[in-house]
Amino acid sequence: MKLNELSKMTAPLNSTDKMPVLFLGHGSPMNAIEENEFVAGFRNVAKDIPRPQAILCVSAHWETRGTYVTAMENPTTIHDFGGFPKALFEVQYPAPGNPDLAKETKSIIKKTEVHLDDKWGLDHGAWSVIKHLYPNADVPVIQLSLDYNQTPQYHYELAKELASLREKGVLIIGSGNMVHNLGLVSWQHLDKVYAHDWALEASDKMRNFITPSGLASCRSV
C-alpha cells in the first residue's frame, strides 16, 4: 500500500449521514475461508449500507479488566483459536488502524476511562467477518474491548456514548453470538434440528427483547 493511500485512509473523519450499527453473529472461525449463507449475508450487508470511513468493532473475543481501544497504525491479524486447518491460520487481514479515531473514542466516553492499546490487533471476531464486508482491507478498523467485570447494562450505557461517531462515517460492529459455548454443543445431534430446552427458552427470550412482537413461532437456534 502506498504512503499517500494510507494517509488518505487515516485522515480526519468528516461529517456524514448517520451510519447504521451492525450486530454480526460470526459463528465458526471457518466462516473466514468457507463459502456459505452466512458469508453471503455479510457481503450483502456491505452492499446495502454506505461505505464507512472507518470501523469500530466490539468483539466477543476481547475481554479485559477495564476498557481499551486499539490505537496502533497497523493492527496485526490475531489467530486466537486452535484445532483448525492451516489455511485458516494463514489468513491475514491487513486493514490499517486509526489512532486518531481511537483517541476520539477515548475522549467521548465519559462513563469510564478508556485506555489506548498498542498490543492487541484484530482478533477473529473482527477480521473473520469484516474481511467479507470489505475484502480489500481498505477501511481502517479499531477494536473496543469488553470489561468482564462490568454488567450488560454498563456496556449498553457506554455504547450510547459512541453515537456521535455514527455521524462521522464510523460503522460500529458488534461481533459475537447470543451464546458461545462449544463445550455444550450436542455433537450427536448435528444431523437434525435440535436444541437444549434451556437454549430454546433463552433464544425465545432474547428474540422477544429484540423484536417485541415475538416471532416465537419462527424459532431457529
Rounded to an integer, what distance in angstroms lies between the CA atom of residue 104 and that of residue 115?
12
The residue ranges of every structural domain in the chain are: 3-177, 186-221
Instruction: Specify which residues 149 forms β-bridges with.
Output: none
From CA 127, how far away is CA 134, in angstroms rounded? 10
- Looking at CATH, the fold of the domain delimited by 3-177 is given as Protocatechuate 4,5-dioxygenase; Chain B (3.40.830)
Q: What's the burial of 127, exposed, middle or buried (CB within 10 Å: 0-12/13-18/19+)?
A: buried
**CB burial class (10 A; 0-12, 13-18, 19+) of residue 61?**
buried
Reported as a single tens digit per residue, the pLDDT across 107-161 is 999 999 999 999 999 999 999 999 999 999 999 999 999 999 999 899 999 999 9
User: How many whole angstroms separate alpha carbon 174 and alpha carbon 187?
Assistant: 27
> What's the whole-model pTM score?
0.82
Q: Do 139 and 170 contact (CB within 8 A), yes or no?
A: no
Mind listing the pLDDT tens digit for each residue in 43-62? 999 999 999 999 999 998 99
